[in-house]
A and B are shown apart, each in its own frame.
Chain A
Amino acid sequence: MKNKRSFTEELSPRQILEIDACTQCGECLKHCPVQDVTGNPTVSPPEKIRMFREFIRASDGLKARLFGPGEVNRKLLEDFTRAVFECTTCGACGQNCPTGIFTQRLWPMLRKEMVKRGLGPIGIQANLQKAITNSGNPYDMPAADRYRPWFPEKVRVADRADVAYYAGCTGAYEAQPMVRGDALVLGAMGEPFTMLPPDEEVCCGFPLFITGQHDLLEDLVKRLVEGYTVRGVETLVCSCPCCVNIMTRDWPVIYGRELPFKIRHITQFVATAVQQGKFRISKELHERVIYHDPCYLSRGVGVIEEPREVLRSIPGLTLLEFERHGLNSRCCGSGGAARKVFHENAIKMGRLTIDEAVKKKADRLILSCPACYAKVNEAMQGHDKQIRITDIMELISSLI
């Protein structure tokens, strides 16, 4: 495929160095969840980097400079595109990279390059822009149904408040017990909170960002930031790790300046309230529970202790840990918008999470991400091992 465009156009200077810095040692494969279920080294991080180096050589190497950009083998481009979109972008490879390559950010940018070349996104991901333009959410569901099916009747939402709650599209449409739990807990805390009307609470931009489709990002972010600003919001609380990640890391860049409010994951908000004695869980729960760290919450923004603090505040509860937890947690298969395209991989990864939880004799698997919640529940259907899956706020709301 002949194209004068450089393969480095979407990369930052740091990412260009990262492409050069990969030693091809292969240590990352031991931590790659896609490798765990496919065993296919051609979709591995070092192979992706090796292929991308070839592309850069074709567009920016000596031969390209002297005689113009070379032709890149179409099959190689397609193989690379598939590999980079099959990845869950969980970042476990980067976390365990002996060089420290920030892969959780690198893969989305390589995806963006493939999108610019018309090779990505893959499958259903290609409908995201249209769906979000149509309905404000990636599932193309009616805005009117965003809150109605799950929002608790007894919880009051203020018109204006210091605190706002963003439910997020996956929570609202695919993991409703989770967002219902969020609303119940926020309501029980007693502090007034506001929300945008359902037609104004549009997608945070993460599905577009992660699939390399950045065109709508600025519009979405400006609408949301301005919506919260006019409501006098000082703290925006959200339970979706992907939303929290893009809000914290990228919204200020896309918005063009510092956000006029703080972003907090709901577990941070609740843990602070517990510490300050403003919120107490009175009911006991004599169960062994195991907590799964969502990749974009732990490796993404470093929220690791707060969910555990919240769980430990439940009287009688025993908290177990996965072998890989915290910064090293293993992806449950839902990340990187790959779950709807590479469904089988995601189901297998979800089952690995379930299997380990069952092996550890946990009574309940606690999640704190709507994508994890939706996919791991799906993975349990027809699986020989069964465990009760509960979102962290769903659990808390049942104990207050």
Chain B
Amino acid sequence: MGTILIVAAYGVYAAFWIRFLLHALLWWKAVTRPATIVGPVPRSSVKSCAFSARDVVLFWRLLKVNPALWFGEWAFHVSFLFVILRHLRYVFLPVPEWVWWFQIPGLIAGYILPLSLLYILIVRRFSVREKYSSPANMVLLGLLFVISSLGLLMVTLYRTDVVAVKLFTIGILSFTPAAVPDSILFLMHFSLVLVLVPLLPTHILAAPLVMLEARKRDLGLPLVIHEE
């Protein structure tokens, strides 16, 4: 089982980078191609960058169109980030001090994460105005909910040997595989993470850049046909 998990981890890791590189290649080919008709390109400014930062960090655009969903989405993304930062203690040896700063916030975020996912599912399923739910998004939400719930169980009710977990992850990263921790919850948690990585949506990387462009475009709209 351990060997399968380790091989799968390397496979998923390789697939992640191949997927990333293929997208980068696609984008680079478009950059080097003769330009298509795209219209005027809005200029960057301090204001557009500041507003874009607000859009990215606070999901401002979502807040404007759907405050109820925004609440859950923002809570989910922030808690997810803190949980990831907390998990970095399994990756570094020795653990840098800044990673320790995120241990308590990460623990709190671990409680918020499944609750926020549950909230999003409820809002999306029962909102009167909801017209469309992407099946892929629903699978992703469900998967994240199970993964985060398993993680929470390992922190609260069925504690897992964190030293064994660390040895296992460091072993994978250093290509000197170690034994899989003796915890069924961990096995499930880790296996589902391996399922999650290939399903990670591409918007994680592309959306912030698109938000920057959108903000520049919004600020530039009054200048398209008006005098500056």
Give Cα A379 to B30, complex, Å.
42
Chain B residues closer than 8 Å to A11, beta-carbon distance: 30, 36
Which of A6, A12, A50, A97 is packed against the most chain B CB atoms within 10 Å? A12
Give Cα A98 to B68, complex, Å.
13
What DSSP secondary structure best describes chain A's contact surface?
A: helix
What does the 1/0 interface line of A12-46 toward B look like (CB < 8 Å)?
Answer: 11111110111111110110000100010100101
Q: How distant is B73 from chain A, measured CB to nearest CB, in Å?
A: 8
The reply to whether the CB of A129 lies closer than 8 angstroms to some CB of chain B is no
Given contacts A99-B211, A109-B36, contact A12 B59 (CB under 8 A): no
Given contacts A14-B38, A27-B66, A99-B214, contact A248 B203 (CB under 8 A): no
Q: Are B37 and A46 in contact (CB-based, < 8 A)?
A: no
Q: How distant is A215 from chain B, measured CB to nearest CB, in Å?
A: 13
What does the 1/0 interface line of B124-167 toward A look like (CB < 8 Å)?
Answer: 00000111111011000000000000000000000000000000
Give Cα A263 to B33, complex, Å.
30
What DSSP secondary structure best describes chain B's contact surface?
A: helix
Q: Are A46 and B33 in contact (CB-based, < 8 A)?
A: no
The reply to whether the CB of B226 lies closer than 8 angstroms to some CB of chain A is yes
Chain B residues closer than 8 Å to A62, beta-carbon distance: 18-19, 22
Chain B residues closer than 8 Å to A20, beta-carbon distance: 23, 202-203, 205-206
The A239-297 residues at the B interface (CB cut-off 8 A) are: 244, 248-250, 252-254, 263-265, 268
The reply to whether the CB of A302 lies closer than 8 angstroms to some CB of chain B is yes
Chain B residues closer than 8 Å to A24, beta-carbon distance: 134, 136-137, 201
Give Cα A18 to B19, complex, Å.
17
Give Cα A253 to B133, complex, Å.
38
The reply to whether the CB of A313 lies closer than 8 angstroms to some CB of chain B is no
Q: Contacting B209 at CB < 8 Å: which of A17, A56, A214, A268?
A: A17
Q: Which residue of chain B is the closest to A249 with respect to CB atoms? A: B39
What does the 1/0 interface line of A83-104 toward B look like (CB < 8 Å)?
Answer: 0000000000000111111100
Give Cα A101 to B210, complex, Å.
7
Q: How distant is A247 from chain B, measured CB to nearest CB, in Å?
A: 9
The reply to whether the CB of B215 lies closer than 8 angstroms to some CB of chain A is yes
Q: Are A12 and B35 in contact (CB-based, < 8 A)?
A: yes
The reply to whether the CB of B96 lies closer than 8 angstroms to some CB of chain A is no
Chain B residues closer than 8 Å to A17, beta-carbon distance: 27, 206, 209-210, 213
Q: Are A105 and B38 in contact (CB-based, < 8 A)?
A: yes
Chain A residues closer than 8 Å to B203, beta-carbon distance: 20-23, 99
The reply to whether the CB of A309 lies closer than 8 angstroms to some CB of chain B is no
Q: Are B61 and A61 in contact (CB-based, < 8 A)?
A: no
What does the 1/0 interface line of B53-66 toward A look like (CB < 8 Å)?
Answer: 00100010110011
Using C-beta atoms within 8 Å of the partner chain, give the interface range for chain A.
35 or more
Given contacts A20-B202, A302-B221, contact A26 B133 (CB under 8 A): yes
The reply to whether the CB of A378 lies closer than 8 angstroms to some CB of chain B is no
Give Cα A249 to B33, complex, Å.
21
What does the 1/0 interface line of B183-215 toward A look like (CB < 8 Å)?
Answer: 000000000000000000111011101110111
The B1-59 residues at the A interface (CB cut-off 8 A) are: 18-19, 22-23, 25-27, 29-31, 33, 35-40, 55, 59
Given contacts A16-B30, A62-B22, contact A102 B217 (CB under 8 A): yes
Q: Are B27 and A25 in contact (CB-based, < 8 A)?
A: no
Q: Contacting A249 at CB < 8 Å: which of B202, B210, B224?
A: B224
The reply to whether the CB of B225 lies closer than 8 angstroms to some CB of chain A is yes
Chain A residues closer than 8 Å to B29, beta-carbon distance: 6, 8
Give Cα A47 to B130, complex, Å.
15
Q: Are A60 and B26 in contact (CB-based, < 8 A)?
A: yes
Q: Are A253 and B209 in contact (CB-based, < 8 A)?
A: no
Q: Are A248 and B225 in contact (CB-based, < 8 A)?
A: yes
Q: Which residue of chain A is the closest to B22 with respect to CB atoms? A: A62
Q: Are B30 and A264 in contact (CB-based, < 8 A)?
A: no
Q: Which residue of chain A is the closest to B40 with respect to CB atoms? A: A249
Query: A17-B213, A60-B26, A97-B61 provided; 13 other pairs, C-beta below 8 A?
Result: A11-B30, A13-B27, A15-B30, A15-B38, A16-B26, A24-B134, A25-B69, A27-B69, A30-B131, A50-B136, A99-B203, A100-B218, A268-B225
Top 3 nearest A-B pairs (CB, nearest first) are A100-B214, A26-B132, A24-B134
In the assembled complex, 13 residue pairs joining A and B whose CB atoms fall closer than 8 Å, in A order, are A8-B26, A23-B137, A24-B134, A24-B137, A25-B62, A26-B133, A98-B65, A98-B66, A99-B207, A100-B210, A100-B217, A250-B37, A301-B225
